[in-house]
Amino acid sequence: MVHPMIAANWKMHKTIPEAVDFARALKAEFPETADRDIVLAPPYTALSAVAAVLKDSPIHLGAQNVHWEEKGAFTGEISAAMLADAGCRYVIVGHSERRTLFGETNETVNRKLRSVLDHNLLPILCIGETLEEREEERTFSVIEEQVKEALNNMSASDIRRFTFAYEPVWAIGTGKTATAGQAQEVHAFIRKLLGDAYGGESAAAIAILYGGSVKADNIASLMAEADINGALVGGASLDAAVFGSIVRYDRQ
Ligand code: PEP
């Protein structure tokens, strides 16, 4: 069985004191989390402060983005080495906001993933179709292209370190959640793609998260699906009590 993961993507929200207060509250609520992984991805400015709070806690720290170069004249960018130095374990790569607002392509996503792996960090790779692509019945071809191009030159041992996040763009921050059935259909397709490329055993062990307007009242039905192994949560992750109840999806 795949270990479930609930991850918070705070995007461009929270000052350092707000991030620290949240992390302290969550750490107190989940002193041990043996049966699920919890990840907080604060903005860069709060990474070190949150890392200090999460020390001695099973809750993991994640970053929202990374640059693929090691160091150099890349004003405004942060490398994987810097994220590791700040205490991160996970890095979200290829979020749809990065793709649509900041011009990320499957090729730059692939370079970022390589750098993340080279620094012993664990990628959370986001993929998902737009509303237009879904309406044109191109969901599966778009997902296939995103997965194949992002994973170009990745080995089976690389793949075992991945978490995937299926995030239909039309469901992010819109209040429109994919139905559990719609999400499951795409999750099963992603797992099949991974199985075809890397073998069924590797594919069965990979966590595939769903993201897109996940809330306390829809998480349980999503998690009941066979291929949904967790959630990447944006808006509903900004409040510690609400996020805590999503993490406790099976103990409401
Ligand atoms: C996200 O940004 O990854 C996300 C899923 O956002 P929201 O939960 O707000 O839809």
Distance 235 CA to ligand 1 centre (A): 6
Q: What is the pLDDT of residues 204-223, one digit of tens each?
A: 999 999 999 999 999 999 99
Taking CA atoms only, the protein residue closest to ligand 1 atom 1 is 234
| Residue of minimum CA distance from atom 4 in ligand 1 | 234
Atom of ligand 1 nearest to the CA of 11: 2
Quickly tell me which residue has 């509903």 as its tokens.
Answer: 236
CA of 181 to the centre of ligand 1 (A): 19
Instruction: Assign residue 174 a region (left: φ > 0; alpha: ψ between -120 and 50; beta: otherwise).
Output: alpha
* Closest by Cα among 159, 127, 162, 124 to 142: 127
State in Å: Cα 172 to ligand 1 middle.
5
Of the chain, the end-to-end C-alpha distance in Å amounts to 22
Is there a contact between 47 and 86 (Cβ–Cβ < 8 Å)? yes
Please give the mean pLDDT across all residues of the chain: 96
> Residue 141 CB: number of other CB atoms within 10 A?
12
Give the pLDDT score at 33: 83
- Its pTM stands at 0.97
Query: From atom 8 of ligand 1, which residue's Cα is the shortest distance away?
Result: 234
Kindly report, residue by residue over 95-142, the tens digit of the pLDDT: 999 999 999 999 999 999 999 999 999 999 999 999 999 999 999 999
For helices 47-54 and 16-29, the axis angle rounded to 10 degrees is 20
The answer to whether 13 and 238 are in contact (CB under 8 A) is yes
* DSSP-derived secondary structure for 77-116: --BHHHHHHTT-SEEEES-HHHHHHH---HHHHHHHHHHH
Q: What angle do CA 160, 100, 122 make, to 5 degrees?
A: 20
Strand runs labelled E in the chain: 5-9, 37-41, 60-63, 90-93, 122-127, 163-166, 207-211, 230-233
- Residue 49, φ and ψ in degrees, nearest 5: -65, -40
Residue 179, both tokens: 């139905």
Pocket of ligand 1 (CB under 6 A): 9, 167, 172-173, 211-214, 232-236
The secondary structure element, H or E, covering residue 149 is: helix 139-150
What is d(CA 84, CA 95) in angstroms, rounded to the nearest whole number?
Answer: 20
What does the pLDDT read at residue 252?
A: 65
> Residue 251 is encoded by which pair of tokens?
């103990």
Percent of residues, the chain, with pLDDT higher than 70 = 100
Catalytic residue annotation: 95, 167
Ligand 1 atom with the smallest distance to the CA of 174 is: 10
pLDDT tens for each residue of 10-67: 999 999 999 999 999 999 999 988 899 999 999 999 999 999 999 999 999 999 999 9
